[in-house]
Structure 1
Amino acid sequence: MLNAAGLRPTRQRLALAEMLFLEEDRHVAAEDLHKQAVENGVPVSLATVYNTLHQFTEAGLLRILAIEGQRTYFDTNTSDHHHYFVQDSNDVMDVPDGTLTVDNLPVPPEGMEIANVDIVIRLRKKQR
C-alpha cells in the first residue's frame, strides 16, 4: 500500500500504517496514535506521527477532519461521507451512508467548484 502511494515503507511508517489500516475505518488524532504506538513498543516521536499522518494524507491514504479547534482527526475512510462528533468523549463516528442528503448548496464563486461537503453532527448525552 505504501509503495503504491509513492511512500518509502520505513519501519515507523509500516508500524503506523498497520495500526491505522488493519482495523475497520478509524478516526484518530495524532496524539492517540502516538500513545497506541508507544503502548505497542513502537519507538516513534509525536512529531514523526504527525509527519507520517500528513504524508499519508498527501498520498491519498487518509482524510483530515478538522472537528475540534485544536484537535485534528485523520480518517482512514477517504470517501465523501459525514460524521458524528460525541462532545463528551471526543469520539468521531461515520454517519451511515444514505441517511443524510444535502440540498440547496450555494453557487460557488466564479472560477470555483465545490470539492466536497463535510457535515459534522455534534452529539452529547441527553440532558435530564
Structure 2
Amino acid sequence: MRASDAYDLRACLRSAGMRATRPRLALAALIFEAGHRHLTAEGLHREAAHTGTRLPLATVYNTLHRLTEAGLLQRIVVDARRSYFDTNTTPHYHFFDEDHGRLVDIPAEAVELSRLPEAPAGTEVESVDVIIRVRRTG
C-alpha cells in the first residue's frame, strides 16, 4: 500500500492496535510507501537510521510483528535464522536467492499444488508456504 495512493499511515497503525507515535509513523512510511517489497527487521532498522530516525531494534521487531498480526504484512521464515516481512499479503509464493539473500515473488497461479495431506484431527490447513531456493549456476 502506498501513501501516495492516499493510504493513511495513522489508520494503518490504528488497525494494528498501535498508537501512531513518530517512530512508528516513520517505520510505516518506510515499509509501505515503497510499494511491494520484502524486508528484514535489521534492514528496516538501517533504513530508519539513514533517514535520521534512531530507535531500538526491538521497536522495529515489535512494529513488524504487530503489523503482521493485523494482516498488513506477511512473515516469510526462510530458515531458523532469517525472517522477511512482505508487504504483498495476497496469496503468492517465493523464490529465495541463496547467493544474495533475496526473495522474489512467484504468482500463486504459477504454482500448482495437486494434493495436500489430510490435516491432523481437529485442525485445518490455514495456508501453504512455498519457498523455492535458487543459486546462480556456473
> TM-score interval w.r.t. the shorter chain?
over 0.9
Question: Distance in 1 between the 2:115 and 2:15 partners?
Answer: 38
Question: Distance in 2 between the 1:88 and 1:79 partners?
Answer: 26
Tell me if 1:33 matches 2:60: no
Tell me if 1:53 matches 2:83: no
Higher relative contact order (CA 8 A, sep 6+): 1
Number of equivalent positions: 127
Q: Return structure 1 stretches of 4+ with deviation > 4 angstroms.
A: none
Q: Which of the pair is proportionally richer in helix?
A: 2
Question: Distance in 1 between the 2:23 and 2:67 partners?
Answer: 13
Q: In structure 2, list runs of 5 or more residues that go unmatched.
A: 1-11
Tell me if 1:65 matches 2:49: no
- Normalised by the size of structure 2, how large is the TM-score? 0.86
| CA deviation map 1:55-85 (0-9, x unaligned) | 1112221111110321111111122211010
Shift of 1:97: 3.7
Q: In structure 1, list runs of 5 or more residues that go unmatched.
A: none
Corresponding residue of 1:116: 127
Aligned residues: CA RMSD? 1.2
Identity %: 46
Shift of 1:96: 2.5
Question: Distance in 1 between the 2:15 and 2:76 partners?
Answer: 24
